[in-house]
Amino acid sequence: MSDQFHRHCLLQKGDLRQTAWIPEIFAKKNKYLSLKQKDDSWDDGWKIIEIGTRQSSKYMLERSQDYKLTRKASDV
């Protein structure tokens, strides 16, 4: 996985916009995507309107769990 990357993308669906980290192989401007929801359903029709920062997939995986340490680090 060390040579795989994600791209930070701006997505639009109608009047809605959101950002997401997308695997680089799918991050193509004007491409339409389906996003997996928390309940494992798929939300179709999201268009990539901007492609931003590139980050290694390994780093993304390592950072994805950092929120679990926030309370421990911030408790006084």
Per-residue pLDDT tens listing for the chain (76 residues): 447 999 999 999 999 999 999 999 999 999 999 999 999 999 999 999 999 999 999 988 888 888 887 776 676 6
Instruction: Give the model's pLDDT for residue 68.
Output: 80
What is the rounded distance in angstroms from the CA atom of residue 29 to the CA atom of residue 49? 6
Range of the domain at 32: 5-74
Q: Total domain count for the chain?
A: 1
**16-23 sheet: strands from edge to edge:** 16-23, 5-13, 42-56, 32-36
Q: For residue 37, what are the CA distances in angstroms to 17, 59, 72?
A: 15, 22, 28
What was the pLDDT predicted at 64? 82
d(CA 37, CA 54): 23
pLDDT for residue 62: 84
What's the pLDDT at 26? 95
pLDDT at 52: 96
Give the CB-side neighbour count of residue 72, counting CA atoms within 13 A.
4
